[in-house]
């Protein structure tokens, strides 16, 4: 079920004012119960939906960046997904990964055995909002019926596959070949990432730096040939790292062996790169320029954890 089939005017809030995201989620959890697919489950009370939504949100924020959030939950016995939509008068903090306040919120309740429907709803709404004029219409909507009609007219209605752009994270920082290595390591530690892209100033991807490369940068060459270090007791494996890192740059450590896919690559292609080819991260390109990355944690967060 896509947006145009899943939404109705009685499940759309426009110009809504709330105290915080918890207030909003409570209101939307009550609203989504108006969906026919939930109304036909007499044993499903408001508390069940509300508690499931809150529990999922407390695990990790469902904000995806760029002012949008997709709170969701899985419900046993549900035959089809239930949706509701809220357009906020004043965007609120949603603990979004990009730090931006959220003003467009789509709640999705899905069958327990088909959780990836949430990602497909996200993909369709995100595609719709790529147009600046469409996004302006949403943000300034003042009538649920008109907004519902707009969605019915402009949404694709297609069962879109999950693509790289739907689950990627934006670049945490622009790392260039001349970026000091000390800064690179600080960024990787701050965001707890295993690999980071190295780009030219026009965002062309030229390499990546992984934790393995950082570790090996400080090790003597003969270490890579050893099968055991049982005979070495006092050697400091980071002695060379601290000696050389002060004057090193990203280009001194980066590798040109990396995985890069276009933003419309499928989820299967992403998983193949991560699980079969064993790359720590898949870099995502738009028109040949680096725009984001996907690691195993992103797949777990956006797919398996749904």
Element (DSSP H or E) covering residue 190: helix 181-191
Location of structure tokens 């007219």: 153
Paired tokens of 219: 């090790």
Strand partners of residue 284: 261, 292
> Do 169-304 and 3-159 have the same topology in CATH?
no
Fold type of domain 3-159: Mannitol-specific EII; Chain A (3.40.930)
- Residue-level pLDDT, tens digit, the chain, 306 residues: 467 788 899 999 999 999 999 999 999 999 998 888 887 776 777 788 889 899 989 988 889 888 999 999 888 777 788 899 999 999 999 998 788 999 999 999 888 877 778 878 888 888 888 888 999 999 999 999 999 999 988 876 556 667 888 888 888 899 999 999 888 988 998 888 899 999 999 999 999 999 888 877 766 555 555 566 555 555 555 555 666 667 889 999 999 999 999 998 988 899 889 988 999 999 999 999 999 999 988 787 666 555
Helix, strand, coil percentages in the chain from 3-state DSSP, rounded to 5: 40, 25, 35
In 3D space, the residue among 36, 116, 35 whose CA is nearest the CA of residue 70 turns out to be 116
Distance CA 109, CA 111 (A): 7
Specify the CATH number of the domain 169-304. 3.10.580.10
Domain residue spans in the chain?
3-159, 169-304
């Amino acid at each position: 079920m896509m947006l145009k089939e899943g939404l109705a005017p009685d499940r759309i809030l426009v110009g809504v004012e709330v105290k915080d995201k918890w207030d909003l989620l409570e209101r939307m959890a009550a609203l989504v119960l108006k969906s026919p697919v939930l109304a036909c489950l007499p044993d499903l009370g408001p508390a069940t939906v509300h508690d499931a939504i809150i529990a999922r949100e407390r695990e990790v924020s469902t904000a995806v960046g760029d002012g949008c959030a997709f709170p969701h939950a899985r419900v046993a016995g549900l035959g089809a997904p239930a949706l509701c939509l809220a357009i906020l008068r004043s965007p609120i903090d949603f603990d979004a990964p990009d730090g931006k306040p959220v003003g467009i919120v789509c709640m999705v309740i899905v069958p327990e055995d088909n959780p990836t429907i949430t990602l497909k709803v996200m993909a369709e709404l995100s595609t719709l909002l790529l147009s600046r004029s469409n996004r302006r219409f949403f943000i300034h909507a003042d009538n649920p019926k008109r907004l519902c009609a707009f969605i019915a007219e402009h949404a694709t209605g297609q069962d879109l596959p999950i693509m790289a752009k739907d689950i990627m994270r934006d670049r945490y920082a622009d790392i260039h070949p001349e970026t000091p290595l000390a800064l690179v390591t600080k960024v990787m530690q701050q965001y707890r990432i295993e690999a980071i892209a190295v780009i030219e100033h026009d965002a062309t991807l030229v390499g990546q730096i992984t934790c393995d490369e950082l570790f090996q940068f400080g090790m003597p060459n003969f270490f890579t040939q050893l099968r055991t270090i049982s005979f070495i007791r006092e050697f400091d494996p980071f002695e060379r790292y601290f000696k050389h890192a002060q004057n090193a740059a990203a280009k001194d450590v980066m590798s040109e062996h990396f995985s890069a896919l276009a933003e419309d690559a499928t989820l299967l292609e992403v998983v193949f790169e991560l699980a079969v080819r064993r790359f720590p991260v898949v870099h995502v390109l738009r028109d040949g320029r680096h725009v984001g990355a996907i690691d195993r944690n992103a797949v777990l967060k956006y797919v398996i954890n749904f």
